[in-house]
Every structure is written in structure tokens, then in C-alpha cells.
Amino acid sequence: MLAHDDTIAAIATPPGAGGIGIVRISGPGSEDVCQVLFRPKSTAGPLKSHHFYHGDIVSSANGNAIDEVLVVLMRAPNSYTGEDVLEIHCHGGNLILHAVLTEAIMKGCRLADRGEFTKRAYLNGRMDLLQAEAVMDLITARTDRGREIALAGLKGNLSEKIQSIRSDLIEILSFLESSIDFSEEEISSPEFSRPHWQEIEGILASINGILETYREGKLFRDGFNVVITGRPNVGKSSLLNRLLGERRAIVTSVPGTTRDFIEETVNINGIPVLLTDTAGIRKFPEEVEREGIALVWEKTLMADMVIVLVDGSTPLTEEDVEVIDKNRKKPLILAVNKSDLTHQIPDKHISEVFPGISAVWISAKYGEGIEALKEKIKAMALDNEDYSTSDLLLTNLRHKSALQKAASSLLAAQSGILNGNSAELTAFELKESLDHLGSIAGDTTSEDILDKIFSTFCVGK
């Protein structure tokens, strides 16, 4: 265990008024700080670990109570950080929490850096780096599916998988190294190389299997940008509201109402989708509207997917066709709205004018076809591939690039074996691969990368 000699403190709950607010303290001085700050209601001798005590936090200036609280001391190593941790459960108000934190600082604590509690947990071996990163994903998850995947990461499912790949690799490496010790000869005999080439192939398959889950994992973690576009009055704002399940955009029958953008994140069948409602595209816009329209083209260019909305109660117009044509290179869904009114666009016409474009009839106003549209968005986001029900998904770019590097070292080792390279060189490449795999869980991660990772956390986490 890596002992820190300083004791850190921070407010662990979000700002604002709440039922409770927690000041978290971690380090060797936690219990001493408790002795001086906390006045228990009943004196019960030394504090028992993992027990709540009721009392007051008192001001060092005048001995007056700052707040009536519950404190819990969690002695090392059975705490989040692996150190002595003191949590002071106060009433949830900014003023109270800051006053309690200030007292703790006056009693020798240091204000914690961003993510420092989790960093200590990692340095003290309470979790590996991948699990520490999953903590942040868990807190910021925007859908249940995202939460499940992050929780699986926190529970160590992906860490275990990578660890087992590492063990397999270590086995090959140790065999190779022992053969280097026994002979100075080059290891190019087919009896030796063939089985190793095969074993490496097996490891590569496992790594590639994990890499293949990245697209899906990233989607559920980071989400997807969808822009709704179309001419004015086709029902774009109504569709945004329908997908959000609330009235957010202004819906009017006057064309050209949405001149700016409205962006909202919405959970579409487990995927956090950033939906953008844009200005209506029309031929002769007014001044302000023109700017809005210019921006629409920019927005749609950046989008991961575009929903072109047309009004199915009127025949297709030149503008509709223009919008579709301009977005043809994008993953595109054609949503034909106002299905509750008389259909003026025959399906046959759609498939003739826009071959290969997937169309769905909806009624933004009454909800008809919305579930089908959501399914279509999800299917297109997942590239029409079956999505897995496994929670063992790769979500993090850092992990992905480490796995890719590990795989390319293995490929180099494999082609070296085929070319009759020396055992030393093959061993070197296998070690390189091991290092890349090790960087995922943090076994071989440099200090500056660690700092970078934890600096994205919030204070108190």
C-alpha cells in the first residue's frame, strides 16, 4: 500500500441545497480531525469503524455548533480510498458545507484535488485504473444502459478479461525466455514456432473481440448527434418535443419559428442522443432566418445522423428534395410526418425519387410511428448490427488505443516467428504488447497520464 502522509478533504456532494451534504476526509489524520471537530451527543469512547455517530460540528473560533451532523469513520483499509476516511453528513446547504470544510482545513487537512479520492483508491490498490475511470462513467451515465456498462467496468469485468489475456501472454513469454536461457541458438524450428504462432493468434482473436465492442460501447457512453432538418412547418419542433416527451420547442403554424438551434439530450432506446432542432429550410427566408439556414448546413455536416422531415399531407416540394439531396452522404432517415392527415406522398413515389433511403411515416403530433422511428435511429446508430446484451463493452478511447497497440506488437511477433526472427526479438515484441495491455489497468501507466485521467474527475470524487 502506498501511504500518503497528508489528509485531504472536499465537499463530496454537488452544489446547491439538498437533504444532506457530505464532507469527505481521507488520510492518516482523519480520526484526529474528527476528535477536534466533532462533539458527540453521547460520549461513547473511541469511535467504532463504519458506525454512524450523531452530534455537532463545532467552530474552533467560539465553540458554537456549525451544524448537527452524522459522522462515520471508516478505518483503513476498508474504505473507498483504502485509507482512514471520515464522512461528515451535514444538512445540505452550501454555507454549512463550506464552513465545515473550512474547519477541516484549519485542523490540518489539505483541499483535495480533482479525483484525488479515487486516485488514492487506485494507488492503494482498491481498484485498477480501468475501474477508476468507470467510476466517472457511472456518475455521468445518461441512460440505464450506459450505467449498466459503467457498473460492469467498475466491478472489474473488463479488467478481468484483460488480465486473463495478459496471463496467457505471460505464459508464452516465460516459455520463450526460458528457451533463451537454455540456448543461444535462434528459435526458428517449426516445432517451437508453430504452437506459439497459434497461441498468439488466439490472444489476437480475444483482443479483436474486445475491440469490436468499441463502436457500441462508445455509442452508449458518449451518445450520438442527430439533427432534425426540413422545410418550415413540417413538424420539426413537434418531433423534438415528442422524442423528448415534453414541450421544449415552440410549436406554431407560422413558418420559420425556429431560427436558432434547440439542443437536448434524449434517451433513445438506451442511447443518449443529442437532438438538434434546426431552422426550417426555405427558398426566400428573411434576414435572420437566412443566417439560421446557413448554420443548418453546417450542423448537418457535423451530425452523426440526419432526420429529414417532410410533410406527408402535402406533395413533396423542391425544397424537400434539396434537403434530402444535400444530406445523402450522411446516415439519413426520411421521416414523413402528419400521417394522421390524408397521405399526399405515395410510398412508391418516395422509393422512386429516393432509392435506398429509408422512410418512416410518423405523426409527431399524435405519436404514431414514433417507436418505429426510435428503433430505426437505434438500428442505424448501431450500423444495423445486432447489439449485444453483454455489459462487457469497450467504451474508452485510451483503452481502445492500448489494445490496438498491443495487437500490433503481437502481429509483429507473429510475422517475426514466420520469418525466423530470434527468440529475443520475439520476446521483446511480446513484452511490448504486455506493457500496452498493462497500461489499461494502470500497471504500466506513467504519472502524467494518471494526472490527466484524474484531472477530468470532479473535486470530492
The DSSP annotation for 22-56 comes to: EEEEESTTHHHHHHHHEEESS--SSPPTT-EEEEE
The residue ranges that bind ligand GDP (CB under 6 A) are 232-238, 251-253, 257-258, 280, 337-338, 340-341, 363-365
> Where is 119: in which H helix or E strand?
helix 116-123
Dist CA 269 CA 372 (whole Å): 11
Burial of 75 (C-beta count, 10 Å sphere; 0-12/13-18/19+): middle
Task: Tell me whether strands 262-268 and 85-92 are parallel, antiparallel or unpaired.
Answer: unpaired
Judged by beta carbon, residue 311 or residue 429, the one nearer ligand GDP is 311
Instruction: Tell which residue, 93, 116, 113, 105, has the closest CA to residue 37.
Output: 105
Chain centroid to CA 113: how far?
A: 21
Ramachandran assignment for 369, one of left (phi > 0), alpha (psi -120 to 50 degrees), beta (any other): left
459: which DSSP letter?
B
Judged by beta carbon, residue 31 or residue 340, the one nearer ligand GDP is 340
Q: Where are the beta strands (DSSP E) in 141-186?
A: none
> Where is 342: in which H helix or E strand?
none
Dist CA 219 CA 203 (whole Å): 26
Dist CA 270 CA 259 (whole Å): 30
Judged by beta carbon, residue 213 or residue 363, the one nearer ligand GDP is 363
Judged by beta carbon, residue 229 or residue 267, the one nearer ligand GDP is 229
Judged by beta carbon, residue 253 or residue 389, the one nearer ligand GDP is 253
Strand order in the sheet with 358-361: 262-268, 271-277, 224-229, 305-311, 332-337, 358-361
Helix axes 397-418, 423-441, angle to 10 degrees: 170
CA distances from 460 to 13, 72, 130 (A): 7, 16, 19
CA distances from 161 to 77, 165, 198 (A): 26, 6, 20
Judged by beta carbon, residue 238 or residue 426, the one nearer ligand GDP is 238
Judged by beta carbon, residue 89 or residue 338, the one nearer ligand GDP is 338
Judged by beta carbon, residue 258 or residue 439, the one nearer ligand GDP is 258
What is the distance in angstroms between the CA of the first residue and the CA of the last residue of the chain? 20
Judged by beta carbon, residue 363 or residue 409, the one nearer ligand GDP is 363
